[in-house]
Amino acid sequence: MSEHLVRRRIFLDGRWVDPFDSKPIEVTDCFTEARLGEAPGVGGDDVGRAVDAGRRAWSRWASTPRVERARLLGRVRDNLASRVDVIAQVWAREAGMPIAAGRPSTAGLAFAVLDEMIEILSAPHAEERIGSTIVVEEPVGLVAAITPWNYPMSQLAIKTASALAAGCTVVAKPSEIAPFGAFFFADAVAEADLPPGVFNLVAGSGRPVGEVLASDPRVDAISFTGSTATGRRLMEIAAGRIARVTLELGGKSASVVLDEGHLEEAVTATMASCFRNNGQTCTSLTRLVVPHPLVDRAATMAAEIAASQRLGDPSDHSTTIGPLVSSAQRDRVRHFIESGIAEGAELVIGGSGAPPGLERGYFVQPTVFANVEPQSTIAQEEIFGPVLSVIGHAGTDDAIAIANGTRYGLAGAVFGPDDEALAVARSIRAGFVSVNGGAFNSRAPYGGLGQSGLGRELGRWGMEEFVELRAVSLMT
């Protein structure tokens, strides 16, 4: 595996090239804490070169027939398919995603989006007319795609597939903490022989590279996934020139169990979501909101599930919870656990110490708190680790108020009689809500309300983020 993990070049204008200026950034194996590899940290001139390449390629790509764009995306897809195993293996080491879940996830969302874009582009498409007015659709231009470390390949694949499908060109900047998934994606693009400059990859950390990219006036749209704080910063930068932003940010999603909801099913589904990717998932259901008399039972069930997790090497197929991505992230999560205890929540299982026998690797104990106050820190802040808060509610209205009582609005779940649960789902202010275990749909729009974000990804809505609409009226 390691031969793939020393990356010194960036992908520019259709070729892998040496940066003018690069300070290599060491990437750490989050299980062994040893060096995993290195990726470049490029300078501003390299960012400028990538933007040049993206701009130069734009008008030709924008006028490339849709079926040709579909054909080339199909090649990216095929090239990615042969890399699924290595991407999942590296994901386990760069960000801690257990391989048993990581492999199907790698093979899932990125391919679903590529397939969806190919299908959209392959279908007949006519300009819409409103009376004597033609609705002209145009690609927005050059897109900066800035992605985080938790789903390193698929987040970039979603943004790139949607932008390229719309006729935009892309300069991508993955996370410096877990960059390799994006490099494998770029390998797949490189081999697909897209016209030079249509897709470009730079690398490095947030301020010196991400911010320089986002600030370039030739970038027409910024598509970002990451923390709310960085999203806010990027929106400020975009405001300076009224550039478009799509922001996929944090969450503090609630799973609401109504009086007649099936408690065991609810707890099982909520825990699966809460512990997905070791809790490093923005849509994780991290607040389990149950009727007051059921708090103890729900917490006991959740604790049994937490106790049954297999912590360990994320490359081992039997592991269900791996290490967190970094020591900083581990310390942050442990600090939240301490704040939960300090603020009086009942610690049912877990805690802030290292799990027994796992002092090495950035592990956090799967943790369940009961009787958590809805306004307390652990019920309000995104923790991004395997930590569940069980909160009591005093009826449906109270449950809805608790679910909506954070600054976020990314996801949610409701368990109860179908009609009632659907009505509650409609009242939960979140971009995606599951009713009685309804599955996430990669063809439906995805995104957040409130401080969880702006704009949508996935399906035709994801592509439309990168489309500009104009009205051209004819004489009648």
Instruction: Write out the residues near ligand ADP by the rule CB under 6 A.
Output: 146-149, 173-176, 205-207, 210-211, 214, 226-227, 230, 233-234
User: Is the C-alpha dihedral spanning 275, 279, 284, 287 positive or negative?
Assistant: positive
CB of 173 or CB of 330, closer to ligand ADP: 173
**Element (DSSP H or E) covering residue 266:** helix 263-274
What is the closest distance, in whole angstroms, from the C-beta atom of residue 436 to ligand ADP in the complex?
Answer: 31
CB of 149 or CB of 432, closer to ligand ADP: 149
CB of 215 or CB of 270, closer to ligand ADP: 215
CB of 206 or CB of 417, closer to ligand ADP: 206
The C-alpha R_g of the chain, in whole angstroms, comes to 23
Q: Is 9 helix (H, G, I), strand (E, B) or coil?
A: coil
What is the closest distance, in whole angstroms, from the C-beta atom of residue 39 to ligand ADP in the complex?
Answer: 11
CB of 74 or CB of 208, closer to ligand ADP: 208
- For residue 159, give Cα distances in angstroms to 15, 172, 358: 21, 9, 36
User: Is the C-alpha dihedral spanning 448, 453, 459, 465 positive or negative?
Assistant: positive
Please name the residues in contact with 198: beta carbons below 8 A apart, sequence gap of 6 or more.
Answer: 14, 54, 57, 61, 164, 169, 170
**Element (DSSP H or E) covering residue 274:** helix 263-274
What is the closest distance, in whole angstroms, from the C-beta atom of residue 303 to ligand ADP in the complex?
Answer: 28
What is the closest distance, in whole angstroms, from the C-beta atom of residue 164 to ligand ADP in the complex?
Answer: 20
CB of 70 or CB of 142, closer to ligand ADP: 142
What is the closest distance, in whole angstroms, from the C-beta atom of residue 210 to ligand ADP in the complex?
Answer: 2
What is the closest distance, in whole angstroms, from the C-beta atom of residue 156 to ligand ADP in the complex?
Answer: 10
Residues 324, 280 contacting (CB under 8 angstroms): yes
What is the closest distance, in whole angstroms, from the C-beta atom of residue 250 to ligand ADP in the complex?
Answer: 8
CB of 181 or CB of 312, closer to ligand ADP: 181
Classify burial at 123, counting beta carbons within 10 Å of its beta carbon; exposed 0-12, middle 13-18, buried 19 or more. exposed
What is the closest distance, in whole angstroms, from the C-beta atom of residue 280 to ligand ADP in the complex?
Answer: 9
d(CA 99, CA 37) in angstroms, rounded, equals: 19
Q: For residue 182, how many other CB atoms are within 10 A of its CB?
A: 27
Q: Is 86 helix (H, G, I), strand (E, B) or coil?
A: helix
Nearest to 277 by CA among 452, 96, 31: 96
Q: Is 450 helix (H, G, I), strand (E, B) or coil?
A: helix
Residues labelled as active-site residues: 248, 282
- For residue 393, give Cα distances in angstroms to 256, 258, 348: 9, 9, 19
Q: For residue 266, how many other CB atoms are within 10 A of its CB?
A: 27
| DSSP string computed for 389-449 | EEEEESSHHHHHHHHT-SS--SEEEEESSHHHHHHHHHHS-SSEEEETTPPP-TTS-B--S
CB of 94 or CB of 211, closer to ligand ADP: 211
Nearest to 116 by CA among 422, 381, 445: 445
